[in-house]
Amino acid sequence: MPDAWRRTGPGAAPPAMALALAFLFTTPLVRAVPAANAPLQAGGLRLQPCAAAAAKAAGAWCGDYARPVDPHGAVAGTLPIYFEFYPHSGAGRALGTLVATEGGPGYPATASRGEYLALFAPLRAARDVLIMDNRGTGHSGAIDCPPLQAATAITESLVADCGTRLGARAPLFSTTLATDDLAALLEALDAGPVDLYGDSYGTFFAQVFALRHPRQLRSLVLDGAYPLADAGFAWYPSYGPSMRDKFNLACARSDACRALPGDSLGHIEPVLRLLRAHPQQLRARDSTGRWHALTADATALAIVMYGSAPARASVRELDAAAHAYVAGDRVPLLRLMAETQSGVDSRDATQSPQAFSAGLAAAVMCQDAPQIFDMALPPTKRMAERERAVAERKRVAPGTYAPFTIDEYRRMPLDYSFIDECVQWPSPPLAWPPGQLAPPGTTYPDTPTLVVSGDLDNMTPVADGAAAARKFARARQVIIRNGLHVNALPHSRSACGAEIVRTFIETLAVGDTACAEAVPEMRLVPRFARRVAELPPAAAMTGRAAELGRLRAITAAALAVGDVLVRAPDFVDGEGVGLRGGTFHVTRTADGYRLMLQDVKWTEDLCVSGSVVAPARVGPAQAELQLLGARAYTGPLRLEWFEGGPQAQASAHGRLGGMEIAATLDAP
């Protein structure tokens, strides 16, 4: 048994009364905020004002907590574990400490401080906040394997090369040791028991922490959760069904899509057959204007459907883009393929390991995640075992990733297909057995646990969240209808998840979850069109005569606005290009976005310019537009709608081709 496990002594959680008493007597007293530039005493640590501008502006105090690289001592040295501490803003004793841990793996948690602080904002008067960069990420000794970090595409050999470069340190960047770092830091800060929030991979970290350090937990929130190591999980068996459900559910909730025969997967099947029969090497432009060399084939389509990047645009557009591709209009689907190439690359533009460490991501996946082969084997034997396992899977479950074959699925990027990534990773030493996240015999604690899942999330699907919830005796899963991946942070589609999380942290009860059923449906593109004349007309208001061409132009203008609006979260204070030409600029406002469109072409024969003001989630929205096309399509147009409700409708008023026009239509 490793020394770290003996020291921390994980086991069953204490009874409720004991936990309450422990909470009362271990919660620190009010810390007097010192003068500027003076240190802050927190438990046994002296913290300095943060140097990072964003952290400093938010009132954080920072530190580097030295931890042994190897608790066994075989590898000498220490790691600086960087953290940011935000004291509660109100008077009196702190009620507790909120801790947030990031997804990935590979991302530093402090880079998401803005989202975490926004989630916790209503609770911060009475609660401190702690955000720690896990070992190997951000400012906590980020792993840099240059060939892997800079590679155009991840390969098995590049992953193996990173493991070789790390050598004896390779297993020392595991989730287990990262959770031990957090436990030690909490003890040093005298900050426990804590409320721990994790999103995506952060839910994996949080579950490991619960197993290893249950007495340091008051509550657990798993947002976008998956279980640690259920039987058969190495094949990610929920991945395919949840991907299919995502598109089929979105279609079933859209009037235009539901009116077509069959389900969404049936609508997409013709383009899959075409891509299999006629794959093409070509260049396609994403919405930033960047050109990509890609192979338009079945695997490129699989990346769009499984990769969920861009998440909203891929759900909104794929059904219609698939139909357009088969009909000869390749632009919409090729743009999605190009956007996905950018979206599934976790690195930033500088490829900085501090922003995202590809090496840390590989180290965690290869040390902690379940595999279809035995990681204890040497790589040559492991590769042979993989081939046998894949052959057997093809025999007994060929539809695991349907509608794609297992081979088409395996050609996706390794960090999205998962099953081949670690086959050549160096064998770990006996002291660090792979996949052993807690001492044998450890049981899940009786920690109050909330699991939040989106029913359109195929990355950490509802079924996986349910499997994680079943591990905890006091767990409750809340499913957000029309929710995507991670539902409590500000980038999510609704404030519902955040409200439920805050209630749970305050009361240890889930409370009213009616809002989980009220998140509006995704508004799907009814069809793509090269010409305005191919589109259905908006509905003229009663008593208003309008020529059909003008009503079709209104539809085209609204779809151009929606095309930009769905991409706005990815273009804050940035420039983009329209589907078939023109440009747009996105600016973040206090509660949403302001878009400036310049000659944006959603169809080839209509340019749309003007401004759009829309909320991020709920509230009134409007677009002041100038249309330029055929004479009947040219003139000013105003669109108004209310964002955030079901089956949202827009009103349109303008003067096109010299004719006053008023109509209603689906909101952009």
| The pLDDT value given to residue 543 | 64
283 DSSP β-pair partners: 293
Residue 376 to residue 159: CA distance in whole angstroms: 17
What are the backbone dihedrals phi and psi of residue 221, each rounded to the nearest 5 degrees, phi first? -125, 125
| pLDDT tens by residue, 139-157 | 999 999 999 999 988 999 9
Q: Which two tokens stand for residue 306?
A: 């499984």
| The pLDDT value given to residue 14 | 35
| pLDDT tens by residue, 462-489 | 999 999 999 999 999 999 999 999 999 9
* Residue partners of 178: CB distance under 8 A and separation at least 6: 134, 135, 136, 205
Q: Which residue blocks in 190-252 are alpha helix, DSSP H?
A: 201-212, 239-252
Stretch 165-172: mean pLDDT, rounded? Answer: 97
Closest to 201 (Cα-Cα) out of 360, 308, 2? 360
Least trusted range by pLDDT, from 39-43, 133-137, 624-628: 39-43
Please tell me whether the peptide bond between 370 and the residue prior to it is cis, using omega within 30 degrees of 0: no
| The pLDDT value given to residue 583 | 98
| pLDDT tens by residue, 612-666 | 999 999 999 999 999 999 999 999 999 999 999 999 999 999 999 999 999 999 9
DSSP 658: T
Q: What single-letter amino acid sits at 605?
A: D
| pLDDT tens by residue, 364-401 | 999 999 999 999 999 999 999 999 999 999 999 999 99
Return the exposure string of 60-83: e unless at least 16 CB atoms fall within 10 Å of the residue's CB, then b.
bbbbbbebbbbbeeeeeeebebbb
| The pLDDT value given to residue 35 | 54
H helices, E strands: number in the chain: 21, 21
Closest to 469 (Cα-Cα) out of 499, 495, 444? 444
DSSP assignment of 29-75: PPPPPPSTTS-EEETTEEEEE-SSHHHHHTT-EEEEEEEES-TTSSS
Residue 646 to residue 661: CA distance in whole angstroms: 26
| The pLDDT value given to residue 348 | 76
Residue 187's Cα: distance from chain center in Å? 30
Residue 124 to residue 115: CA distance in whole angstroms: 14
| The pLDDT value given to residue 545 | 63
| First-to-final CA distance of the chain | 59
Q: Are 261 and 268 in contact (CB under 8 A)?
A: no
| pLDDT tens by residue, 293-328 | 999 999 999 999 999 889 999 999 999 999 999 999
The torsion angle over the Cα atoms of residues 591, 597, 603 and 606, rounded to 10 degrees, is: 130
Whether the model clears a pTM of 0.75, i.e. scores above it, the answer is yes
pLDDT band, very low/low/confident/very high, at 115 (cuts 50, 70, 90): very high
SS (H, E, C) 70-95: CCCCCCCCEEEEEEEEECCCCCCCCC
- Structural domains for the chain: 3-233+434-517 (3.40.50.1820), 533-666 (no CATH)
Helix (H) or strand (E) holding 214: none
| The pLDDT value given to residue 145 | 97
Residue 515 has a CB neighbour count (10 Å cut-off) of 16
How many percent of the chain have pLDDT more than 90?
A: 86
Q: Are 292 and 341 in contact (CB under 8 A)?
A: yes
